Amino acid sequence: MTAPNSGKKAGVLLEALVLYLVLFPPRIPYPEILSPSAPLSVFSLKEELVKLFFYTVPALALTGALLHKKDFSFFSRKGARFQHSAYTSPGKKALRRVVRESASLCMTFPCLALIGWGVSALSGLFDPRCQPPRLEAPSSLAGRAVLVISALGTGYVEELFFRRYLPARFGEAGADAARAGLFSTLLFALSHTYAGPWSVLNAALSGAFLSVMMLKRQSLHGIAAAHGGYNVFVWLSGET
């Protein structure tokens, strides 16, 4: 396979950069994030619904459309091990997929929680005056339902973009799997600058782990569900 020319590389990277800046613009930390007192982030049903319908759903649709407009083969090498030459019934294929996705979910969620706990412990040890924001979880059943849907949607948006779309684009521009994962992880970490330096560290470590999991498991749904489940856990536990 011939290497892509410089014009094609520039076009691929420009599309990826523009979409990144549109969906995940890096922002400076809010002043209260860096203050010694822990700010309170209050759940708003209206804001979550607006975010869900006017950001999450369009972001999923746009990223998915861009990802599928061309047959990316960047992930096909690892995924090929799940294909078999002999005929397999659709029911067995579906069952294998459910088992694989469920296993990825069970492996990913506790690791994300462990990384988050470790970063929180480090921040308390090295920067005890800078407390993480406190999150006020919704009290109503409707609020909790919207929170779960919104958190899962956010997990899917970030996994689809940072673990599928960006590595595929970087791969099309000539990067190998390791460099594509590294660049995607760096951009993922930068998208969390609004929450302060410890959140950036948490995103960097989590992003590196999720990139490895995606390359090894080829399990978008299980990993995205674990990511979304961790977001729900963060809200309900009242910590970042």
Residues in the chain, total:
240
**Could you say which DSSP state residue 21 is in?**
H
Long-range (24+ apart) CB contacts under 8 A made by 10-18 are 12/169, 12/172, 12/173, 13/169, 13/170, 13/173, 15/66, 15/169, 16/165, 16/166, 16/169, 16/170
| 91-102 tens-digit pLDDT | 888 888 899 999
Q: What is the pTM of this model?
A: 0.84
pLDDT tens digits for range 185-216:
999 999 998 888 889 999 999 999 999 999 99
Q: What is the CA radius of gyration of the chain?
A: 19
Residues 26, 14: Cα–Cα separation, whole Å: 17
Residue 3 clears pLDDT 60, i.e. is over it: no
Containing structural domain, residue 118: 43-67+108-240
Give the alpha-carbon dihedral of 177, 152, 26, 220, to 10 degrees: 10
Classify 172 in phi/psi space as left (phi over 0), alpha (psi -120 to 50) or beta.
alpha
User: CA dist 138 to 32, 135, 212, 232, 238, Å?
Assistant: 22, 10, 33, 11, 11
For residue 238, the model assigns a pLDDT of: 63
Looking at the structure of the chain, the number of domains it has is 1
Q: Does 16 map to a domain?
A: no
In a domain, 13, yes or no: no
In a domain, 38, yes or no: no
Q: Evaluate whether residue 34 is within a structural domain.
A: no
* Domain membership flag for residue 123: yes
